[in-house]
Structures are given as C-alpha cells and as structure tokens.
Structure 1
Amino acid sequence: MDGFALITITILAIFLGFEVVSKVSSTLHTPLMSEANAIHGIILLGAILVAGQAEDALALTLSILAVLLATINVVGGFVVTDRMLLMFRAKPRAAAPSAKAEVDA
C-alpha cells in the first residue's frame, strides 16, 4: 500500500468512527461496549498488519505506536465492560432470621 492509500483509510476511519459514536444514544452506550471492544480488536489487527508491511523507520515507529495504543484501548475496554457488568449483578440478600431463633426468644 502506498502512503496516500493509508492516509485516506485513516481519515475515513476517523470520520466514520466519529459519526457512528456521535449518533448512539447515551442509554445504549453500556450494551454496545462489548461490540466496540470487538471493533477495537479489528483495529489492533490492522495496526499489526501495517507494522508487518512497514518499509521505512518512520512507518515502523508509527505502526508500533498504533499497536501499543490499540492494545491499551482493547484492554481498557474490557476492564470497563467488566466493571459495568458488575453493576448489573444481583446483590446477595441478607440471610432471613431463622424460625428456630424466633422460637427460642
């Protein structure tokens, strides 16, 4: 791939990502977080592919930086998703007083 094609893909990806995220209602952000993590995983794979095809030092440096940032993004997304799912777990109920304790009193 030549540099112009990579820049074009990057600009289109930024524009598309902004449009998609800005159109999502705030009530849907929590359910869509796991799908966003899958998209971030695809971005990570794309960054790895670009790093593997880098021909000069600048392209290699930028692609390795992209791999690092995409990895941080994927891991952070899964951590946030896990914390959100913990909010929806049923809280354990306090043990009800037993009938034997009422009889003894």
Structure 2
Amino acid sequence: MSDGFVWLTIFVLSVFVGIEVISKVSSTLHTPLMSGANAIHGIILLGAVLVTGSSDDTAVLVVGLIAIVLAAVNLVGGFVVTDRMLQMFSRKKPAKRQEAGR
C-alpha cells in the first residue's frame, strides 16, 4: 500500500471520530473544551511553523503555509467563540440614568 493511501485513510477516520466526539458533548462543557482546544491549536501552529521553516522542498512549503494559515484562523476563531460564550455568563452593568433637566 502507498503512504498516501494510509494517510488518507487516517484522515478520513479521524474526521468521523471527531464528528462523533463533538456531537456527544453537552452545551455546558463547550467553553472549557474550547479553551483546551485553543491551547492545542497553539501547539499545532507552532509545529507547523517549525516544520515549514526547516523544509527546503517546495511542496512541503506550500502545504506548510496552508497549515499555518488554517491553524492561525482556527486559533483566533476559537478565542473569539470562547470570548462570546463567556460574555453570555457575565453580568451586564446597569445603564447609568441621566438626570432630567440637564
């Protein structure tokens, strides 16, 4: 068997496992899991930068650049989603009342 077929099989199986795992998570656990996922995506971004930086092959550089862009977008998007979810649980400050006649 070729290495490409093995990697494609691993990728497809990991997609199915990821979908099954994520769909079973209750909504109260999403915020802590997002924080953990953000840490993992930071490590993935660092790894993509290191591997891409040490490569001389053009194909590896292109795939590495794509990996860096996708990991960065995923990392930033995770922080944005986590921030929005945490804002749902924070208390809103009461609006200041303006004095009449001023």
TM-score by length of 1: 0.66
Aligned to 2:99: none
TM-score, length basis structure 2: 0.67
Structure 2 unaligned regions, length at least 5: 97-102
Higher relative contact order (CA 8 A, sep 6+): 2
- Is residue 85 from structure 1 mapped to residue 86 from structure 2 by the alignment? yes
Deviates most, 22-31 or 41-50: 22-31
Q: Distance in 2 between matches of 1:10 and 1:62?
A: 15
Q: Any idea what SS the aligned residue of 1:55 has?
A: coil
Shift of 1:29: 1.4
1:36 alignment partner in structure 2 = 37
Q: Secondary structure at the match of 2:31?
A: coil
Q: State how far apart, in whole Å, the 2-side matches of 1:43 and 1:13 are.
A: 16
RMSD: 3.1
State percent identity of aligned pairs: 62
Shift of 1:20: 5.4
Distance 1:65 1:91 in 2: 40
- Aligned residues, how many? 95
Matches within 5 A, 1:1-105: 21=22, 24-93=25-94
Q: Which digits, 9 at most, give the CA deviation of each residue in 1:26-84, with x for residues without a partner?
A: 43112221111001101101111110122210000100110011001101111111111
- Name the amino acid aligned to 2:88: M
Hey, what's the Cα distance between the residues in 1 that align with 2:57 and 2:92?
55
**What stretches of structure 1 of length at least 5 have no aligned partner?**
96-105
